[in-house]
Structure 1
Amino acid sequence: MSIQYHIDESFIQDLNKAIKKVKIKSCVMIKDGSMIYEYHKNRKVRDNLQKVNSCTKSIVSALIGIAIQEGYISSLDETLEHYFPKIINKQTDKRKKEITIEHLLTMTAGFDWPEFGEWDSFAPMVYSNDIVKFVIDRPLIDEPGIKMNYNSGCSHLLTAILQIATGLKVSIFAEKYLFDPLEMKYHWFEDNKGINHGADGLRLTPYDMAKFGQLYLQKGMWNAKQLIPEQWIKRSTEPKYLTYDFIGHYSYHWWVKNIESDNSHLSADNRFFFALGHGGQYICIIPHANAVVVFTSDMYNDSLKPLEYIEKFIIKSFSYC
């Protein structure tokens, strides 16, 4: 017997008051497949493409799962050497040959990458003429596969791998297998080598962000078609590394958090997962309540404020019947 929930409107009213006081642009909430709440700063925000920043990473994760399903990538154990042999063979640190697609997805490649440190959430790779080479040239400070360290360079390597593996720009591959079936509008920026930015290159509407979240809530099924393998969705949203406990566990380019405050013990019935973009962009899936929540924001001094609202207002609004 499934647990039934109703919406405690008092929490939603509190949410509505809170988001109008800060630089939140949109908030969309879907429950049981129906829109139950939406706020937009204006019509332009509602209807136009918005920066989703690092929410791009979670869509890249989905595309990796699709590429494996379609036979373009044989395994998550494929290495950087397989895709970038000329760059890898010039490296003095031979451990870089051991870095796999799975290490990139979990950001455990081991590179010296102070994105959440001295770089202050902005990786200088964007100024490079060759972002792939810039990333691989960074020194290793950890053995691959040991420690998660937030690294947008890993995400760009993944789009480069997808382009090599499929022979298509990642945007075109995404159109075929994801965006067109979902009827999503998008713009995806490229680097000067013609590789779509894997870290933060996408622009989407709030509604289309919600569609992508709903697809994950439905375990990859859309209009009776399995767009993303169900097993991939399960695997890619299992909690794996707890480096930043104030955010949650990291998985395959998804964050996973306990509904309760203690993140040390996560059960499948007591957690939610989310894509998180700098400035307060969120695609949040709350399986136990059959709900999806989306935020777009201009909160670059407090990217975690919408997560606070998700926990303080939205999750608490789903009460047992």
Structure 2
Amino acid sequence: MNWTTLHDELKLLDLRCCLIRVRGEPVFEHERETGASAAVANIHSVTKSFLSALVCIAMDRGLLPGPDALASAFFPRLAQDEDERKRRITLEQLLTMSAGFEWTEFGGRHSFRRMTASPDWTAFVLDLPLMDKPGTRMTYNSGISQLLSALLAEAAGMSVARFAERHLFGPLGIESYEWETDPQGVHTGGFGLHLRADDLLKLGELYLQRGRWDGRQLVSAELAQRSVRPALRSRDHREGWYAWHWWSDRYTEDSRVDAASASGAAAGMDCFFARGYGGQFIYVAPERDAVVVLTNDSRKKDKMPTDVFRRHIAPRLLTLA
């Protein structure tokens, strides 16, 4: 396939970089400036998908129980809450953001900003009232990701970053990173990881290969596949279906159709992806054996359109045999 015209299209969007690998080989690289893909940058909520991988690894190693286990085993605050529904929140409901907490991500008194202004982020989230029965509705909630990071650190007996170095970053060859922490020193679960675009490709390739990397099974095939399987429809402005801190969609020749309702559609392509504020993405298209990474400057005045993949890249991947 000739990718030449894609360079011209992406130049107009002023992307930081776009990397595409098909069948394990690089087929396209676009950088606004030379070396952009090798520079460490904030990946924002793509952090959530790295955390998902770490939680799966901890489950595989027996450090965390299975997804049906109760979160109250790690947070006595939930077990003691007067709302008995909180006592039944499971790890899977945390992973699918369906725990039911009252939350508005970007504003209001139960929000990301209020949490990060509080002295104890975990306590802030655990004390939130419920607005839904756990397991019934997905509400995008970076506070839930912080709960997962906290319980992972407790279960592993070390910081989340150290656990990542041993069991994910190290095997993948990820050497350069920065990771923010909360006031208690717990690494941020929903944002705050800084990585190279080249290293984002590695997470995509790991999941394309069902958790296998360089002959080693870093994440069990069972959990690698389960964690990206569509679970609940997003209830807010974000597109697609939600899995275990991954998104999922289906793309067709003329439009994007959601993954759950369009199975069997002609000329379609299922895809799961990580998504971060400001234009950070990892897309994995198993049917085309492809991984796509998009990055942008999160604080630019003109934000990158969110449909770059659908408009400019998915149509090309759909033509691959």
Displacement of 1:55 in angstroms is 0.5
Aligned pair 1:77/2:68, yes or no? yes
- Count of aligned positions: 310
Equivalents in 2 of 1:26, 1:195: separation in Å?
Answer: 30
CA-to-partner distance for each residue in 1:94-125, whole Å, 9 max, x for gaps?
22111111111000010111116658995431
Aligned pair 1:253/2:245, yes or no? yes
Amino acid at match of 1:104: L
Aligned pair 1:262/2:257, yes or no? yes
- Aligned residue in 1 for 2:6: 15
SS of equivalent to 2:95: helix
RMSD: 2.2
CA-to-partner distance for each residue in 1:135-184, whole Å, 9 max, x for gaps?
11111110111110000111110010101111010111111111001111
CA-to-partner distance for each residue in 1:276-309, whole Å, 9 max, x for gaps?
0011100110111111000111256787725x12
2:181 to 181, 190, 199: 190
1:128 to 92, 95, 118: 118
8 A Cα contact 1:279 1:302, kept in partner: no
Amino acid at match of 1:49: V
Displacement of 1:26 in angstroms is 1.2
| Structure 2: gaps spanning 5 or more residues | none
Amino acid at match of 1:78: A
- Compared CA separation, residues 246 and 155, structure 1 to 2 (3 A): closer
8 A Cα contact 1:28 1:39, kept in partner: yes
SS of equivalent to 2:234: strand
Identical counterparts, % of pairs: 36
Displacement of 1:76 in angstroms is 1.4
- Aligned residue in 1 for 2:105: 115
2:81 to 75, 78, 91: 91
- Compared CA separation, residues 132 and 212, structure 1 to 2 (3 A): same
Q: TM-score, normalised by structure 2?
A: 0.90
Amino acid at match of 1:315: A
- Compared CA separation, residues 158 and 164, structure 1 to 2 (3 A): same
- Aligned residue in 2 for 1:59: 50
SS of equivalent to 1:285: strand
SS of equivalent to 1:43: coil
8 A Cα contact 1:23 1:298, kept in partner: no
Equivalents in 2 of 1:195, 1:302: separation in Å?
Answer: 33
Displacement of 1:317 in angstroms is 1.1
1:243 to 234, 249, 261: 234
- Aligned residue in 1 for 2:270: 271
- Aligned residue in 2 for 1:218: 209
- Aligned residue in 1 for 2:158: 168
SS of equivalent to 1:265: coil
8 A Cα contact 2:153 2:159, kept in partner: yes
8 A Cα contact 1:188 1:196, kept in partner: yes
- Compared CA separation, residues 131 and 278, structure 1 to 2 (3 A): same
1:24 to 4, 7, 15: 15
CA-to-partner distance for each residue in 1:55-78, whole Å, 9 max, x for gaps?
010111111111011010122122
Q: TM-score, normalised by structure 1?
A: 0.90
